Structures are given as structure tokens and as C-alpha cells.
Amino acid sequence: MLHAKDIFVSYGAQNVLHGLTLTAQAGTLTAIVGPNGSGKTTLMRALTGEAGYKGTITLGDTDIATAKPYDLAAQRAVLPQATPLAFPFQAVEVVRLGLRGGIETADHLALTALARVGLDGYANRFYQELSGGEQQRVQLARVLCQVWRPVVDGTPRWLFLDEPVSSLDIGHQLTVMHIARDFARAGGGVVAVMHDLNLSAMFAHQVVLMQGGRIIGHGTPTEVLTDAQVSLAYGCDIRTSSAPTDGGWFMLPQSAGGADAAPTKRSA
């Protein structure tokens, strides 16, 4: 279990997070959503120990504030929004950085991870020559290598993903979300910062809705992504509905066409 209690984060005199408390369970995918500036990435950086905070955050039995980086790295892998590299590494070399042996380790796991993210045959391509979306998937392969087995000796491992689909087309977005959900189904824990409400509703078991550095909703997608709560968080009129094919949720901004746009009927 990941448990954060009374989390405060400040940058200088600016308070960014205001006493947040949340719990995420292994075996589930938890999506953190909310508008720009709501504190999603700051919360992620606190949960992974990258940002200073007041309060308590534990991952299983580990207090991340006092844990050694090596011990944390064995329990969880972190995918940031962007990971620029200054040196001309090949894709497979970047992925190998997620292995305990580091870049010197020649292991078939790196190639397997690249294939898993749709980059089979890209091993010897230089990282800087790849598109932004391809680089993002290389980095995902790296963090997958770090926690390849979702459960080790009965202890769940965790993936922390900050906007993992931001540079991807819809096909690769679905691939990445399936990878995340499969990791959770196998017993691992996944916490992902997301901008796409529809993907969050489709794949997440739990949703954390943020606004102004506070959590205003935490529960299943149908409990949290309601008309009132989503409209409040994003400051515009949004309607939740269900697709007629499988009943999955989707969000539609009602004000996109302007004040005179006709309202969209709510599906059954």
C-alpha cells in the first residue's frame, strides 16, 4: 500500500499542496487528474521522494523520507514527464540503465522491454534520433526493466508514471495504458498523472481529482468523474456520459463551441 498523510509542499513562500491525504493499493491503477497547476506533478514528486514535503509517505513498510535511494529503486520505478540525455546512447543502452547491472549489463530483458513498448528493432538507434514519442517509450521500457516483476517475494513493486501518454498517438496511448493496467493486474501498484480524462476513466481503478493543490475527489471513475466535480475542477461545463458500445465513460466539454452551442444530450 502507498499511504500519504497530511502532505504539504511549498516552493519558497508559495504553498503548492495543502495537507493532502491519499491511499493507493497494490493491484490497482490510480490516476491523478486535474487542470494545469493543480499540483499533480508536485504530488507525484512528493510521492517518489523527489520533492521536499511535510507529512508522512510510506510505501509498504518503508518511510520514503528515510529510505536509501538504492532501496527505493528496488521497490519502485519513476517515469518523469521528460528525460533529456546529453550523450549519444543507443536505445538499448538507455533501457539497460533500468537494470541493476546498469549500462554494462547485456541482458535480453532490455530487448524484450523495447518490444513490449512497440520498439522492436530500435535497439541500435540513437536516442537523440528518435521522435519525442519514441523517446518516451524508450524511457518506459527502462522503468519497466527496473521493476519487471510486479511482485517479488510477496512484495508488490510500483510504477510511478508522470503523463506517460502525453507525446503518443492514440494507438500507442492504448498500448501504454494496457501495459500499466497489466502491471497492476499482476499485483503491482501503478500511480499515473494523467491529462486525458477518457483514458483515465477507461483504465484506472481509482481516480484522484485535484484542484488548487487539494484533492476534491478520490474513488472509482464513476464516483469521482461526475458532472459537478469535473466541471468544478476544470472551470468549464463538462458532462459525463457512457458510450453505447460498452458503457465506458467519456467526458465532453460543453463550452467548446461557445456560449451559444446547443447542449449535448446525455446518453443512457
pLDDT in tens, 196-212: 999 999 999 999 999 99
- Whether 158 maps to a domain, the answer reads yes
b vs e for 90-101, b when ≥16 Cβ sit within 10 Å of the residue's Cβ? bbbbbbbbbbee
- Whether 214 maps to a domain, the answer reads yes
Three-state SS at 83: coil
Map grid coordinates 491519499 to a residue.
22
- Whether 217 maps to a domain, the answer reads yes
pLDDT tier for residue 103 given thresholds of 50, 70 and 90? low
Residue 42 or 101, more confident: 42
- Whether 66 maps to a domain, the answer reads yes
Range of the domain at 69: 2-257
Q: Which amino acid appears at position 177 of this protein?
A: M
- Whether 266 maps to a domain, the answer reads no
Q: Which amino acid appears at position 266 of this protein?
A: R
pLDDT tens digits along 136-156: 999 999 999 999 999 999 999
State residue 248's pLDDT score: 65
Query: What pTM was estimated for this model as a whole?
Result: 0.88
CATH code of residue 153: 3.40.50.300
* Contacts with 175 (C-beta within 8 Å, 6 or more apart), sequence order: 117, 118
- Whether 262 maps to a domain, the answer reads no
* Contacts with 47 (C-beta within 8 Å, 6 or more apart), sequence order: 2, 4, 57, 64, 160, 191
**Rounded Cα distance, 53 and 68, in Å:** 17
- Whether 263 maps to a domain, the answer reads no
State residue 190's pLDDT score: 98
- Whether 38 maps to a domain, the answer reads yes
Map grid coordinates 524484450 to a residue.
112
pLDDT tens digits along 45-66: 999 998 999 999 999 989 999 9
**Rounded Cα distance, 254 and 194, in Å:** 21
When divided into structural domains, the chain yields a total of: 1
**Rounded Cα distance, 257 and 268, in Å:** 23
